[in-house]
Amino acid sequence: MSDESQSRPVNNQYEMRDPLTQYPRPPFPEQPQPAPGLDAKMVPEPDHGEKSYQGFGRLKGRKALITGGDSGIGRAVAIAYAREGADVAIGYLPSEEEDAQEVIKLIEAAGVKALALPGDLKDEAFCTGLIEKTVEAFGGLDILVSNAAKQVFQESIADITTQQFDETFKTNVYALFWLTKAAIPHLKPGSTIITTTSINATQPSETLLDYATTKAAIAAYTEALSGQLAEKGIRANAVAPGPFWTALQPSGGQSQENLKKFGEQVPLGRPGQPAEVASLYVLLASQESSYITGGLFPITGGKLM
């Protein structure tokens, strides 16, 4: 393991702890960085379970694709899936190669296959290619995690350009349509699709007009798709995070002012760490959740949805 990962918080995932003090609480330092943000630049460093996630073969032999698997929630899911025995492909933007390579090393260290797929989800052909390349490399696809997103805060509708609106919808909604459409012909009974919506789907932040609208669309899309897929034995569920300590936030997802108090507004009084959501994605991908489909799962530090 690199020196960097040595400095990540250490904790045993099964040790009983006080969730109030388990992880850093606000205030946080200002730390602007351009989008897409890099995990490598975050202070304090997020915890993706590098030193804590322990697998038990819950996904042994499965083949997974995770968009945005380089950083944040996607990285934590990639680590957990690999340690549970799945081969893991990650999609990410070319400028995120540094973060992605760190994840590829962690997947390989778990003794499973890793596949790095850089490119832009706003392009339909890239989305289709992500599915085809994963199927080709792993010999199939059993788990699709649609997790990548664009989030740019703006105080007023007057500041949202058509380009921003278009890119947010292409990344968050169109890509989900293109990915699922290409994936479904490859999915066997028992396969699962997991989408990432947000608390913004039902409690939209006024400074995230376009983003919140895409997150509501993802929630509806997942519910409708789950109905279509049931007769094929394929399940689809949506995860709805509240505030999570990821590179999405300092890179334009929030104002620096809001970042300083990020997570303060939820009952637990702090942001979640990516490591704290990974086990939910494992549950929804594994056979343990065989009767769960069409669900929406808030993971918000206690803020009600």
The H or E element spanning position 92 is strand 87-92
Task: Report the 10 Å Cβ neighbour count for 174.
Answer: 17
- Closer by beta carbon to ligand NAD, 29 or else 139: 29
Q: How far from each other are the two terminal CA atoms of the chain, in whole angstroms?
A: 39
Residues 189-208, interacting with ligand NAD (CB under 6 A) = 196, 198
Residue 244 interface partner, choices ligand NAD, Mg ion, none, CB cut-off 5-8 Å depending on type = ligand NAD
Which of 67-75, 104-112, 153-161, 202-210 is the region at the interface with ligand NAD (rule: CB under 6 A)? Answer: 67-75
- Closer by beta carbon to ligand NAD, 151 or else 231: 151
Pair of tokens at residue 105 = 């090393």
- Is 281 tagged catalytic? no
SS3 call for 5: helix
Pair of tokens at residue 293 = 């489909």
- Closer by beta carbon to ligand NAD, 31 or else 190: 31
User: For the chain, what is the radius of gyration of the CA atoms?
Assistant: 18
- Closer by beta carbon to Mg ion, 106 or else 266: 106
Q: Assess 243 for contact with ligand NAD (CB under 6 A).
A: yes
Q: Assess 278 for contact with ligand NAD (CB under 6 A).
A: no
SS3 assignment for 213-263: HHHHHHHHHHHHHHHHHHHHCCEEEEEEECCECCCCHHHHHCCHHHHHCCC
C-alpha to C-alpha distance for 68 and 121, rounded to whole angstroms: 10
Q: Assess 244 for contact with ligand NAD (CB under 6 A).
A: yes
Q: Which of 48, 49, 52, 71 binds Mg ion (CB under 5 A)?
A: 71
Q: Assess 96 for contact with Mg ion (CB under 5 A).
A: yes
Catalytic member of 23, 81, 92, 211:
211
Q: Assess 93 for contact with ligand NAD (CB under 6 A).
A: yes
Q: Assess 70 for contact with Mg ion (CB under 5 A).
A: yes
Q: Assess 121 for contact with ligand NAD (CB under 6 A).
A: yes
- Closer by beta carbon to ligand NAD, 123 or else 190: 123
> Count of residues for the chain?
305
C-alpha to C-alpha distance for 138 and 111, rounded to whole angstroms: 14
Which of 78-86, 146-154, 186-194, 230-238 is the region at the interface with ligand NAD (rule: CB under 6 A)? Answer: 146-154
The H or E element spanning position 143 is strand 143-146
Which residues form the catalytic set?
A: 211
